[in-house]
Amino acid sequence: MFCEKCGKSLEGPERFCPNCGAPVPSEEAGDTAAVPAGAQITADRPPEKKKKAIPLIVGGVAVLAAVMLCILNAVTLGNFFRRSFSSPEEYYRHVEEVTVSELSGAWSRYYELLVGDPKALEERSTGMEFTLELGEGGKELLGLLGTAGVDLTWLNELSVGLGYSLKDSVIGYALSLGLNQDDLLSANMVLDVEEGGMYLQIPELTSDYIGYNMAEFVGRDWLEALEMYQDMQEIRRQMPDALPDEKEMEKLQRKYLRLMLDSISDVEKSRKTLKAGGVSQKCTELEVAIDGRTLARMLEAILEEMQEDEDLKELIVNTTDSLMATNGLFGCSGDYCYNVFLEELAEIQDSLEELQDLGDVLVMKVYVDDRGRIVGRVLELLEDGEVFGEISVLSSQKGSRIGYEFSADWGYGEEIALTGSGKTSGNKLTGDFELELNGITFFDVGVTGLDLKQWKQGYLDGSFTVTLSKAIASFFSVNLAYDTSMLKDLQITLDSRMAKNGGKITLGLSRDKEELINLTMSARVGGGPEARVPAADNTVFMKEEKDLETWWSGIDWDGFIRNLEESDLPEEVVDALREGIDLFSGEGIGMLLNPYYPYDYDDPYDYSDPDWWPDDYGDFYEAPDESLEGNGADPGADDGELWGEEETLESVLQSEDWQNELSGWNEQVNDLGITLETVADGNILVFEWYLPDDETMDETLCSIMADSFMGTLESVDFLSAFRVAYGVSLDGVRCTFYNADGSEIYRDEIN
């Protein structure tokens, strides 16, 4: 058969030509009779079969959309069926388990980091920096101090850097000081815990370290602390092998949570509207009542499981044995401790009957949204059936709006609350909140860009602004007649950018949007100093005083002063530092180590030389001059006796010669704020040292000063020299140190 219009060969019983669309006559009569001769027939008229396909396609799309909607709302639908077709108790257990599961995931990550990764405990490095920056308003306030004779206009920014590192039992510390973004001074300290060494370096002065043996420098206490630290390090190395991994801990957690939830049998379910911060949300309220019987049943189930729990037994035994293996830190084996644990459980179990007589002790209202998430809790604490305290945490959401309310009433007439609302954009929240105490709003808190996702992970990322409320400002103004215009304009801002590996927090104070001062703290994991013991050729190890003098002589004081001159420090400050450096530079290190250092150099006599001593002490005293008769002279006295009135220790100390000697010593120590006096206690010469009001002048420092001073006196045989020089008896010398308030700190004596 061929098409009558185009002549195309037709292979089957087709109603329209596939080439030109013309109708094909059928064998049945009348198929082409209705088509006039010569008329043009096209395929524009849709076939009957195509009309029937349209509703099928539309229906298929509708079914597919319904399926996709179900998939996208599976959580909501799942919660709907659980809420609708399970008992209140079963539904409550479900939502609590889901919530705890979400929290346990984050907890497991922390557990794995701290316990499951020994390297994380062995190797740590953190760098921190604190910066105090003055804004334009702060600079103006400092400028006002100029009228009082204090010029601080050069001060724009101060910074302090801190660093800490730990690696292979070596601890590194770093400290730095900066001014207006210029580095002024820094210091590094290294503690070799294994060997007991301490190393100090000030890079701006010299590249060499000072080394100390801590056992000699500090004493036995350091050795004991060192041994304890080493024990703790060993425990931390062994604990990951003794403790279960995070999955096993999560398994234990879920097990005992389920026991607690299964013990709760009094739950009421209803639909309520949760309202917080002016935002309303439809929720399911689950009211859980817990009385004494419920508590007893809960504890009974937990105690019974603990007694049979093999996982718990393994945890206790392995952990205890691990601690026991570390220098016997625990005095019992794991099996013994586990048996003691079982005995204590049995004692607790015997006392559960006392809980049976308690009435209602707690009513908790849990609010669950349509996705099965807990969005609010209210805890009512009961005593004798009456509510005496309440804690409430509510967070409602409607679209992009979020309302929040936290309140706590401890039952003593004191209530604190934080309420407010905001909007979300993605994971970021922006809103306004109020902090109330006993119903009075004290502060208004603005929140900008708070990252809710980071918040759930324990990181604070957002900005906060705190201002004094109008109510409190009015109270001060009316009741205290205080001008609150300045207080109303003050703002405290907190900008926090925290993440896993560090962060930055800025606390600022501004007035009428003009910055006064900002305090910034930044921290970065891995930003600490290198924890490494310095090389021997880069270290001067302190064994005696001359070693410190060797280190001191290598300091580049001129280079240090040049750096200060290039900074923003005022010229008068640099000059004062230069004078102080000149005082202790060169041989001045002797005075730094020994405040009584000049004594060794001012004394013209070498008392240690036996040839210096005369054969007869009497040769020191000239015969009395007869011209002195009538002034107390004794012409008949023996040559070896004092003529005139007999000298005493007290009179010697009042003499002009001794006072001149004492004045010279005071000139040397006055720069340290110390005053020296001498008094006689019988035949004992007492040196009284009056110290400045300085907390560093403690007993330890005084003992060092006394040892140095007494050692000097003993080295020159001061007792014998004094007896010869002044001709008086001297039984001993005592050093006594006094606080600025006159109280005694320390004393030492030689005889």
- Give 223-259 pLDDT, tens digit per residue: 666 666 666 666 666 666 666 777 777 788 788 888 8
The C-alpha atoms of residue 393 and residue 381 are separated, in whole angstroms, by 15
Q: List phi, psi (to 5°) of 475.
A: -60, -45
Pick the range with the lowest mean pLDDT from 45-49, 414-418, 549-553, 685-689.
Answer: 45-49
Q: CA 194, CA 214: separation in Å to the nearest integer?
A: 11
Answer yes or no: is pLDDT of 629 > 80.
no
Please state the rounded mean pLDDT for residues 593-614.
47
Q: State mean pLDDT over 374-397.
A: 87
What confidence score (pLDDT) does residue 279 get? 93
Q: Where are the alpha helices (DSSP H) in 145-245?
A: 214-217, 220-242
Q: Are 178 and 158 in contact (CB under 8 A)?
A: yes
Query: Per residue in 667-680, pLDDT tens?
Result: 877 877 888 899 99
Exposed, middle or buried, 433 (CB in 10 Å: 0-12/13-18/19+)?
buried
φ/ψ of 150, rounded to 5, equals -115, 115
- What pLDDT, in 10s, does the model give residues 331-384? 678 888 889 989 999 988 888 887 777 777 889 999 999 888 899 999 888 877
Map out the domains of the chain as residue ranges: 1-45, 47-82, 118-218+526-581, 594-750
Note whether 416 and 407 are within 8 A (CB): yes
How far is it, in rounded angstroms, from Cα 369 to Cα 99? 12
Lowest mean pLDDT among 364-378, 427-441, 504-518, 642-656: 642-656
| Locus of tokens 């539904």 | 91
- Compute and round to an integer the Cα radius of gyration of the chain: 45
SS3 528: coil
Least confident of 507-511, 643-647, 651-655: 643-647
pLDDT at 56 over 60: no
**Residue at token pair 């044995």:** 321
3-state secondary structure of 569: coil
Instruction: Write the CA distances from 12 to 4, 9, 18, 48, 462, integer angstroms.
Output: 15, 9, 11, 19, 75
Average per-residue pLDDT in the chain? 77
